[in-house]
Structure 1
Amino acid sequence: MSTRPIGDYAMLSDCRSAALVTSDGSIDWLCLPRFDSPAVFGRLLDDDAGSWAIHPTGPAEVTRRYIEDTLVVETTFQTRDGTLVLQDALALGRGERGHELGRSSPGLLLRRLTCTQGRVPVDIVYAPRPEFGLVRPLMHPVPGGLIARGGTDVLTLSSPVEFRVNGSIAHAAHTLRAGQSLSLALQAGPAWGPEPPRRTSRAIAHRIHDTVRGWRSWSRTHADYQGPWQRQVNHSGRVLRAMTYAPTGAIVAAVTTSLPESIGGERNWDYRYTWIRDASFTLHALNTATCEEEETAFFTFLSRASATQVDAEPDLQIMYGIGGERDLSERSLPHLRGWRGSAPVRVGNDAWRQHQLDVYGELLDAAHRTYRDIGPFDPLTRSLLVGAAETAAHRWQEPDQSLWEIRGPSMHFTHSKLMCWVALDRAINLASTLGATSRTADWIRIRNEIHAAILTYGWNEQLGAFTQTFGGTHLDAAALMMPLVGFLPPDEPRIRSTVQAVATHLTDARGLVHRYRSADGLPGEEGTFLLCTFWLAHALALTGLDTEARRTFETVASHANDVGLLSEEADTATGEAIGNFPQALSHIGLINAARAIRDALR
């Protein structure tokens, strides 16, 4: 089974697919041609599921970084006899600059080694395993590289050095001296089509340079945030861009599947999809990180993917595939042992079938955040948004599964009622834009009913906090959303008391926040949730506790790895990264909390 720490990985992206590379030069995760495609390299989830390792033959001291303003990774190996620099990238489209999509070579993985001092013997081990490790392809050398066939794909490895093939593993050894370089590239194509072309070392070096320029071009137009943690905010904006599926504007929640919320447990989900739940958080973060084009594209994707008659079955889905797909049926891959034995490994996510009332509020809030930027809504979008408001008005009293997708019985979750209030509040503000002024009086009446119900049934006087469910006794970090969405003023005593209750009772010794501590129908306990800790920092800033807000922010931001990537959770025992990685919501939380603290200080 795979035991590599999750925090040891850096992400590569071409805004269509993603790869994860270890600090010592092994590509352990690569899905082609899309984020949600089957993995070609899957060692992240099982040692036998494929990888591509490049490293010095002997021991070395290792440092790495993203080349400034890019997602091109540069790893430096300092050996006894010399220095080796490895650059890794997923190629952006040829000539791609800013938001202009270049001529694309989807899924072109580039690797270039340069010896800058002395001499360094290098080992290269190439073991592709398409379809999450099910396929052990047939490989044979060809001039300028290797061809691997098996399953739906043909893989072309471009290399100036010869490989020895042993079954479905290829090995090469080569020594580089000061000033010498070695360039390799991997590209997949359909098995029934022509083999992807082999590329020269010069062409590979040029595409790496072009990819660096492409990322820097984008970064130059998205670095306007001024304030504390500017570097982290700008980097997180770049990470969100990297997790955007450029053809549609969809943003994946993470680029991985089945990295567990508890080590050895079964809380293992596929996050390579787009959640409506994340929409308003995401759009606020994109606005802060000055990603206006991504903001517009993301809302356009949401409105088109979710277009349906939402006042009739089926309900508005909580999530969609990155191409707008609706059927995301879940299945297990029993041949994979999972990260540190955390099984089952899943692809697909059956949460798409869940009934969650909060999505109506998140969709309307997303529309409210973007309508000034994207211009008048088209008739179909207006119809969708009015339907979402009507559904929230009609169904707010129903139980559901909550934003945390609890796989137990439906309950009356306070946060779900809150987001129905948000749906109507935003719809009222948008009524003239939506051509729905005739509905305003009813929407105001029902909005006030929801408000009164939350104050009556969601508040627990003994706890001094709003609770997870109506009439309940458990806390939920989702209550921190109340001041963030404007349900009550931040200085209202019940808001201050709720924020303090979360800080006191849901925060562990490391200063990180649990989502909740109540039973959720699954065995085992999850770690602390980085997004919820950023929410706490955000709420503390809104309530005027600037010092506490900064301290909380610094605590959670320190859990980024050496290249600034944040996981979903942190293990309560060790503090190490767990959960799917990198996690978009964690970077979104960082951006939004940094802005809130900056504004509070001003």
Structure 2
Amino acid sequence: MNEYPLIADHGLIGDLQTAAMVATDGTLDWFCSPRFDSPSIFASLLDHSRGGHFSTRPLDKAFATKQLYLPDTAILITRFLTEGGVGELIDFMPISGTSPSDEHRLVRVVRCVRGRVSFDIEVAPRFDYGRQEHHLSVSDDGALFDAGETRLVLHLVREEGDERLGRHDATDEGDLHVSLALEEGQMRGVVLQTGPDLVPRVMRPAEVRRLLDDTVDFWHDWVGQSTYAGRWREELERSAITLKLLTYAPTGALVAAPTAGLPEQIGGERNWDYRYTWVRDASFSIHTLIRMGFADEAVAFSRWLYDRFIERRESGSGPLNIMYRIDGNPDLQEEILPDWEGYRGSSPVRIGNGAAGQLQLDIYGEAMDALYYLHGFGVGIGQPGWLAVCELLEWLADNWDQPEEGIWETRGGRKDFTYGRLMCWVAFDRAIRLATAHGRPAPLERWIAERDAIYNQIMNKGWSPERKAFVQQYGETVLDASLLKMPQVGFVVPGDPMWQSTLHAMDAELVSDSLVYRYDPSASPDGLLGSEGTFSLCTFLYVDALARSGRLDEARVVFEKMLTYANHLGLYSEEIAATGEQIGNFPQAFTHLALIDAAITLNDCLDEAAGKARRKDGAK
């Protein structure tokens, strides 16, 4: 199946409303428009024959490639080394702004930096996951791919006096083939633009350079807000840029990943659509981005979260959805693309997400922890928001003590997951703190009673005397890496003997040469076939837990090892297979959030230990 590049052999570009994936061979094989969660236009990543692609590569088949981002930006450069010379493909998307737009631009320009290089460009869109036919019309100024409601326009980038667009051929399938022969110093290419009423036009290289300069300035200004000055600045800022790329600017929503259907096991059925916003991820992002200094993004996410609380109050509904579309729409009906092969034969390819209606009790704790953290930075809750919080906590008081699907969205039925109860404890604890610190009216007596009841239940039922550890679910002995957050949220102190015993049990069972599994599916059936790799989020949670427990040397080694599993651009997918290959949707926001948190915690602990050592030496 050599039609499919490795998942890790991709870079990400975007305009803060949608995004595209570019492989190291110059193929743009994933792009949805006008939003992250819109139907695909290019999706050969999931079916090389049906999905559609936009490839740019040298005509000389014998070439090597290198790929990098311009420093502190989301501008991707793919370099081609051929016998005749060196060429560069520059990919970027000019920023779209904060109002929803149907118009988005993919800039793909090629430049010959040494010698002579001829490029072949193939534009083969397949609209609406290949279900919508289109008509192609070609002119001297470019081309129009018309699929009815969706139109894709190709603008030529050329100098005045250039001959018309080299060789170009339209195929019966509505594809366009273009060839460009460049001398050293020349820059040409195309700009693809989506929108309803566009027509092709010639763009001069100078105009494209202005777009490039404006995009560079945007990213430099944004990264310049970072307050992080620790040991791993480059890695953290790349993760922050990635998170910004995964943000839908009109609402502040953060998608879990820009992709759908990438497998957790090659050839398996664990292929989910991650182009949506999880309450859990949005909540974690508030905490993480404030720690990095990106307060505007954190506040935007909090507004999205408040809106979900208030909508729930106004509709009089029960629990929150665990995930929503980026505009807050709860309709995520799952469907299967029946004829699609899937990435390297991994089917079914799912669009939408059937887990949206699951009951996952942990989301209330993560949301309340985020709101509490925001209050510490002066971002308060208005009266409508507080009333919505109180009503949500009343629902939780009536419903926390019941089986649920859990953080990992298992499809094996509801169970009494310890992590869900842990985060319910967090929800009441943070609500109590907010009410008492700010004099808000609240049923404190009930909240305190529920918080304490949850604490006692976890200690009695979530602890396994047999395993000498906190376990995944009541009455079982399976370990679960989600419980690495216990000291982070303050349920236990890091030195607690019960916690230390739990951490040692995880060392022995869930850790594989520094990489961490979520749990053992063979011991805890999750309703799905197949297995999975280590979960990158959990490895970074492990680093955080080790650092908080004073195991700093181990924490640093685990963290540095994990950095070696990033791809060539510093990006992480959801999981890592036994071969070291990245698998699952890519890049995953949750992993990059956890990387930032782990690095900041570890850096602070190392600084504290170094300070103690200096004071001790000074006392001598």
Q: TM-score, normalised by structure 2?
A: 0.92
Q: Secondary structure at the match of 1:132?
A: helix
2:603 alignment partner in structure 1: 598
2:514 alignment partner in structure 1: 511
CA–CA separation in structure 2 for the residues paired with 1:6 and 1:156: 28
Equivalent residues in 2 for 1:162-201 (5 A)?
162=166, 163-167=168-172, 168-190=174-196, 193-195=197-199, 199-201=203-205
CA–CA separation in structure 2 for the residues paired with 1:374 and 1:560: 35
2:249 alignment partner in structure 1: 246
Q: State the shift of 1:158 in Å.
A: 1.0
Q: 1:433 to 1:134 in 2, by over 3 A?
A: farther
Q: 1:336 to 1:409 in 2, by over 3 A?
A: same
Q: State the shift of 1:559 in Å.
A: 1.2
1:537 alignment partner in structure 2: 543
Contact 2:390-2:442 within 8 A present in 1 as well: no
Q: State the shift of 1:202 in Å.
A: 2.9
1:212 alignment partner in structure 2: 216
1:524 alignment partner in structure 2: 530
CA–CA separation in structure 2 for the residues paired with 1:580 and 1:528: 14
1:396 alignment partner in structure 2: 400
Deviations 1:346-366 (A, max 9, x none): 111111111111111111111
The correspondence for 2:356, drawn from 352, 359, 363, is 352
Q: State the shift of 1:106 in Å.
A: 3.8
1:317 alignment partner in structure 2: 321
Matching of residue 113 in structure 1 with residue 119 in structure 2: no
Matching of residue 286 in structure 1 with residue 292 in structure 2: no
Q: 1:76 to 1:476 in 2, by over 3 A?
A: same
Contact 1:155-1:195 within 8 A present in 2 as well: no
The correspondence for 2:149, drawn from 146, 149, 152, is 152
1:268 alignment partner in structure 2: 271
CA–CA separation in structure 2 for the residues paired with 1:590 and 1:417: 25
- The one-letter code of the counterpart of 1:61 is A
CA–CA separation in structure 1 for the residues paired with 2:329 and 2:100: 25
Matching of residue 577 in structure 1 with residue 582 in structure 2: yes
2:42 alignment partner in structure 1: 41
1:331 alignment partner in structure 2: 335
Q: State the shift of 1:435 in Å.
A: 5.7
Contact 1:244-1:251 within 8 A present in 2 as well: yes
The correspondence for 1:498, drawn from 479, 502, 510, is 502
Q: 1:198 to 1:176 in 2, by over 3 A?
A: closer
2:85 alignment partner in structure 1: 82
Contact 1:386-1:436 within 8 A present in 2 as well: no
2:613 alignment partner in structure 1: none
CA–CA separation in structure 1 for the residues paired with 2:352 and 2:461: 36
Matching of residue 55 in structure 1 with residue 33 in structure 2: no
Q: Which moved more, 1:144-153 or 1:370-379?
A: 370-379
The correspondence for 2:132, drawn from 135, 138, 143, is 135
Deviations 1:211-262 (A, max 9, x none): 112111111122x202121111111111111110001000000000010111
Q: State the shift of 1:557 in Å.
A: 2.1
- The one-letter code of the counterpart of 2:59 is T
Number of residue equivalences: 591
Q: Which moved more, 1:365-374 or 1:5-14?
A: 365-374
Q: Secondary structure at the match of 2:29?
A: strand
CA–CA separation in structure 1 for the residues paired with 2:101 and 2:260: 26
Contact 2:33-2:102 within 8 A present in 1 as well: no
CA–CA separation in structure 2 for the residues paired with 1:408 and 1:313: 25
1:430 alignment partner in structure 2: 434
CA–CA separation in structure 2 for the residues paired with 1:305 and 1:328: 15
Q: Secondary structure at the match of 1:176?
A: strand
Q: Secondary structure at the match of 2:203?
A: coil
Q: State the shift of 1:198 in Å.
A: 5.3
Q: Secondary structure at the match of 1:522?
A: coil
Q: 1:182 to 1:349 in 2, by over 3 A?
A: same
Q: 1:438 to 1:586 in 2, by over 3 A?
A: closer
Deviations 1:194-221 (A, max 9, x none): 5476534332232122111211111112
CA–CA separation in structure 1 for the residues paired with 2:563 and 2:594: 10
Deviations 1:281-306 (A, max 9, x none): 22221112211000000011111034
- The one-letter code of the counterpart of 1:133 is G
Matching of residue 3 in structure 1 with residue 4 in structure 2: yes
Q: State the shift of 1:335 in Å.
A: 2.4
Q: Secondary structure at the match of 2:128?
A: coil
Contact 2:319-2:395 within 8 A present in 1 as well: no
CA–CA separation in structure 1 for the residues paired with 2:317 and 2:327: 22
Q: Secondary structure at the match of 1:552?
A: helix
Contact 2:360-2:404 within 8 A present in 1 as well: yes
Contact 2:26-2:78 within 8 A present in 1 as well: yes
Deviations 1:380-422 (A, max 9, x none): 2111211222222222211100111111111110001001100
Q: State the shift of 1:164 in Å.
A: 1.2
Q: State the shift of 1:379 in Å.
A: 2.0
CA–CA separation in structure 2 for the residues paired with 1:26 and 1:468: 42
- The one-letter code of the counterpart of 2:249 is A
- The one-letter code of the counterpart of 1:469 is Q
Contact 1:364-1:389 within 8 A present in 2 as well: no
- The one-letter code of the counterpart of 1:215 is W
Contact 2:374-2:380 within 8 A present in 1 as well: no
Structure 1: unaligned runs, 5 residues or longer: none
Q: Which moved more, 1:299-308 or 1:201-210?
A: 201-210
- The one-letter code of the counterpart of 2:29 is D
CA–CA separation in structure 2 for the residues paired with 1:173 and 1:136: 25
The correspondence for 1:561, drawn from 555, 564, 567, is 567
Q: Secondary structure at the match of 1:71?
A: coil
Matching of residue 123 in structure 1 with residue 120 in structure 2: yes
CA–CA separation in structure 1 for the residues paired with 2:149 and 2:419: 44
Contact 1:184-1:204 within 8 A present in 2 as well: no
Q: 1:383 to 1:545 in 2, by over 3 A?
A: same
CA–CA separation in structure 2 for the residues paired with 1:212 and 1:81: 30
1:370 alignment partner in structure 2: 374
Structure 2: unaligned runs, 5 residues or longer: 159-164, 609-620
Matching of residue 340 in structure 1 with residue 344 in structure 2: yes
Q: State the shift of 1:105 in Å.
A: 8.0
